Chain A
Amino acid sequence: MPDKRDVTLAVNGKTYAVSIEPRRSLANVLRDDCGLTGTHLGCEHGVCGACTVLVNDKPVRSCLMFGVQAEGKTVRTVEGLADGETLHPLQQAFWENHGLQCGFCTPGFLMLAAGALQENPDMSDDDIKDVLSSNLCRCTGYQNIVKAVRLAAREMRARARA
């Protein structure tokens, strides 16, 4: 059994003290050690993006990052997106615009979009489509995801102005 390391992770504003093998991916640590199973694994080689989380506010493939590398950084997963019972504008827009079917890729798309909009709240439609082409969805054919992100971005800009 490889040696374990004690690591403290800051996820969704909570502190998790975990003892993990250095070879374990951040995705596995989030799922197995923190019990945050909303982050999904679709390919484990960095293509599908189902495992996307925010690390220091930037979208990251959590299957391509080791858990130990997240020490000292802030991590945000889909469980930390809603404000209590109030859905995040992205979650609300995905719901209203049928941006999900089986739901497996959804957490990755939500976190990808959340990170991208945090970096650039004024993305053009083409920019949005371009960013979203980082991840794979097999059910929706994408157009409702693109639409949901567009409408959520508009809503978030309106709220920021208010």
Chain B
Amino acid sequence: MNWIGRRLPRLEDPALLKGGGSYVADRAAKAAAVSFVRSPVARGTIVDIEIPSDATVFTGRDLVDVKPIRPILHRPDYVAIGQPVLPIDRVSFCGQALAVVVADDAALAEDIAEQVFVDIDVADAIINFETALAPDATPVHPEAASNVLVEGRMKTQGLDKVFADAAEIVALDVRSHRQSAAPMENRGGLAEYDAGSGRVTLTASVQMPHMLRTGIADTLDMPESDLRVIAPDVGGGFGQKMSLFPEYVVLVWLARKLKRSVAWIEDRRENLLASAHSRDQAFSLRGAFAKDGRLLGLEADLRSNIGAFSCYPVTCGVEPLMAFAELPGPYDFAEYGVRSRGVTTNTCMMAPYRGVSRPTLTFSMERMMDVAAKRLGIDAAEIRRRNLIKAFPHRSPTGLVYDEGSYLQAMEVAIDAADLPAFRARQSALRTLGRYLGVGISVFSERTGYGTPAYAARGMDIVPGYEIVDCSMDPSGDVVLRIGSSPHGQGLKTSLAQLVSDELGIEPHRIRIISGDTDATPYGWGTFASRSMVIAGAASKLAAGKIAVKLKTIAATLMETSSDNIELKDGWARVSHSNQAMEIGALARAAYHQSHRFEGLLPGLHENAVYDPGGTFSNACHIAFVEVDIETAGVRVDRFLVVEDAGVLINPMIVDGQITGGVAQGIANALFEEIVYDDTGNLLTASFADYLPPTAAEIPEIEIMHMETVSPESVTKAKGVGEGGAIGAPAAVVNAICDALSPFGIELFELPATPQRIREALRRAGGASYA
């Protein structure tokens, strides 16, 4: 029986369904509680911090020996900024931790934190691009000459010529407002001190446990062997839990200082205020089009608000440099000029969030395609047809090499399924009744599963990318896989078990996967960037494959045949064209207990493998159908179609779950979610009453179809699929809104397209019934 391709219910679920999950807060009952005193202002000089008597409180002055968090990019245009774990002199954003309180329980710690008085000499905060990039702007960080901390530039030779020759130049200014990944579980850490060894075990809600260990050991100047990091069940991450945050360094410092166990469980307000934000971007694009709609060249000025600090380890280059490299997306054109800047401000740090820049850049390109199509009198699908990549491998103007994909075919399948003629008839009939329906297309590429070459090309000082997997089979024939990836909801353990099952011929429930424990797994990079199935999957397959070879050799010896004649299936090693067979468990037992019989084989069944790929591009087409109520400017998504090509599906149910969840976040990006600061840098959206993740009522059924292009770049034949839903949806939804509002000539270039923004556009167009 083959397990790959089956909708196997997840091995992770029974515990989670019975309340038996174990998240960090569930383990923290016995530890002292930690609460952070946070800055109420965005910028200023710390004059004094008054601490109540008899309270256990520490400030930056107590942690002067702790090194700042200072991620590095080896690029001449990168300015490295250190983030003090607790600052001594300067406040850089509203919510920055300034002092830490330790008490017997969380309520008491919060009581004490309220009594800590922080005297700050407040200065004017720099919040947005306009003030940060003004010629006379004061630098947010005195050690930097300007507020631009990273800048990528390139221009191909023929760019000016294609603009000179263009039949149509489409210029647009796109704005994506700030968002939070808002995982349902906030951040949290438990640092347990072991008096005997002096070691600290940090259990934390994180995506990159090994990286956290390295980062903390570096800042505290301690050997990594004195620290164990555990990522237990983690309640969602979406990128927000990749970075090394000051709070985790402080927790380990406290455990060592006080020689006791301490826990900090973040609340929602802190998470919205001080974890990490993303997607705060302003893009100015100019596209040079030929008369037939072909895009000849693209010029772009890209600004990303990276907040007050650079996130570790991926740095503040993560959004600007992703936009720089991947803006061309699924389109085939040669001439490209780009300037992409990461701009620092007195706001919460930017860090990765599902899609990283690609939701904004896809939104930009797809809006541009629709606008160009209208200007040139070409159908929206037709202009894409003329521009999509069709030959592989494809080399983009920035030098990225795209492996085999199905950009055009995926769109054609989606368009067929959408039945556009029927929709257009209904749209025009309903318009006469004052109802405004629209359809929007979005096509995109999603670079996934990339290894060290891609990160090294960015100039990263810490170069992630590979994965190491240890695989062992015990004497009863059960398997343990130890992985450096750190899944947190993706169902990776089930998918890997299916993959390894087919390799070894045993059932998935006999495969146990250990992740998220630096004492028990090989060094690895965790789970992010749609990488785990491609990279940890390949390493798992290769490691299990080595065990399979050994099992076959043992079987061949015991059954006196050649190992080429052995097939591992359904728990048995069978000799082909014969009735001879042995249970795999018996072979495993022999590997350990009769090892003297197998000449040339090491005893036992224990192998490992490393995989470090170049990367593989997934692709998809999204089509959204919406209705806009022009009185309230409320938007309802009626139907949402996805045609996804993520290669071979290991577990289609899990893949569909990833797409659906991503699309929901993309619809939220399009319509609802926005982090808002006032002019002084005070956060106005610090609760779920103000920051609005969508509910079941706002998300339609997502219809999903698959293409399965096999890429030579993936050992498992699977491509990454974690981010695509979030990447494509904002463009599809807003293109659909603009289609619905086309009688008013409205074009929207801002995310999210809230009722306020749509109303304002309608008012300007004279389409709203009242002012």
Contacts and interface: CB of A to CB of B under 8 A. Distances in A.
A41 B187 CA distance: 12
Nearest to B20: A38
Contacts of B268: 42-45, 48
Interface string A87-98: 100010011101
B685 to A, nearest CB: 13
Given A98-B653, A101-B490, A101-B657, A138 B697 contact: no
Contact of A136 (B10, B29, B657, B688): B688
Interface in A71-103: 77-79, 81-82, 87, 91, 94-96, 98, 100-103
B697 A130 contact: yes
A45 B687 contact: yes
Interface stretch (B532-540, B659-667, B763-771): B659-667
Given A98-B10, A101-B661, A145-B696, A42 B184 contact: yes
A140 B687 contact: no
Interface core residue of A103, A130, A136 (most chain B CB under 10 Å) = A103
Contacts of A38: 18-21
B661 A103 contact: no
Interface in B293-352: none
B397 interface: no
Interface stretch (A54-62, A104-112, A115-123, A154-162): A104-112
Contact of A21 (B107, B656, B664, B701): B107
Describe A's contact surface by its main secondary structure: loop
Nearest to B105: A32
Contacts of A106: 16-17
Interface residues of B, number: 56
B587 to A, nearest CB: 33
Contacts of A21: 107
Nearest to A35: B29
B19 A79 contact: yes
A100 B14 CA distance: 11
Interface in B10-50: 10, 12-14, 16-23, 25-26, 29
A119 B702 CA distance: 29
Describe B's contact surface by its main secondary structure: loop
Given A133-B695, A142-B695, A101 B18 contact: no
B431 to A, nearest CB: 26
Given A21-B107, A101-B489, A102-B185, A142 B234 contact: no
B182 interface: yes
Contacts of B490: 101
A7 interface: no
A57 B141 CA distance: 56
A133 B654 CA distance: 23
Interface of B: 9-10, 12-14, 16-23, 25-26, 29, 107-108, 182-186, 233-236, 238, 267-268, 488-491, 653-654, 656-657, 660-665, 687-689, 693, 695-699, 701-702, 725
Contacts, number: 172
Interface of A: 1, 21, 23-24, 31-32, 35-45, 47-48, 50, 77-79, 81-82, 87, 91, 94-96, 98, 100-107, 110, 129-130, 132-146
A68 B695 CA distance: 31
Given A23-B107, A94-B13, A143-B701, A137 B657 contact: no
Given A45-B689, A91-B17, A144 B183 contact: no
A37 B695 contact: no
Contacts of B22: 37
Contacts of B16: 100, 103, 106
6 contacts: A37-B25, A79-B18, A95-B17, A110-B17, A133-B695, A139-B236
Contact of A43 (B23, B663, B664, B688): B688
A95 B183 contact: no
A19 B235 CA distance: 30
A138 B693 contact: yes
Closest A-B pairs by Cβ, 10 of them: A38-B19, A104-B235, A102-B489, A103-B16, A141-B664, A47-B688, A37-B26, A141-B660, A78-B19, A133-B697
A12 to B, nearest CB: 10
Interface core residue of B9, B22, B654 (most chain A CB under 10 Å) = B9
B267 A44 contact: yes
B19 A36 contact: yes
B23 A40 contact: yes
A110 B17 CA distance: 8
Given A48-B184, A101-B236, A102-B184, 10 more contacts: A1-B108, A32-B29, A81-B19, A87-B18, A98-B654, A102-B488, A104-B235, A140-B657, A140-B660, A145-B696
Nearest to B662: A141
Nearest to B14: A95
Contact of A129 (B14, B19, B665, B697): B697
A124 B9 CA distance: 26
Contacts of A87: 14, 17-18
Contacts of A135: 695
Interface core residue of B185, B186, B489, B696 (most chain A CB under 10 Å) = B696
Given A38-B18, A47-B687, A132-B696, A138 B9 contact: no
Contact of B9 (A47, A96, A102): A96
A16 B688 CA distance: 33
A100 B29 CA distance: 26
Nearest to B183: A138
A91 B16 CA distance: 10
A134 B695 CA distance: 7
A142 B662 CA distance: 11
A31 B267 CA distance: 16
Contacts of B18: 38, 78-79, 81-82, 87, 91
A104 B695 contact: no
Contacts of B236: 101-102, 104, 138-139
B17 A102 contact: no
A65 to B, nearest CB: 16
B466 to A, nearest CB: 25
A39 B19 contact: yes
A106 B185 CA distance: 12
A145 B696 CA distance: 9
A144 B235 contact: no
Nearest to A79: B19
Contacts of A94: 13, 17
A24 B107 CA distance: 8
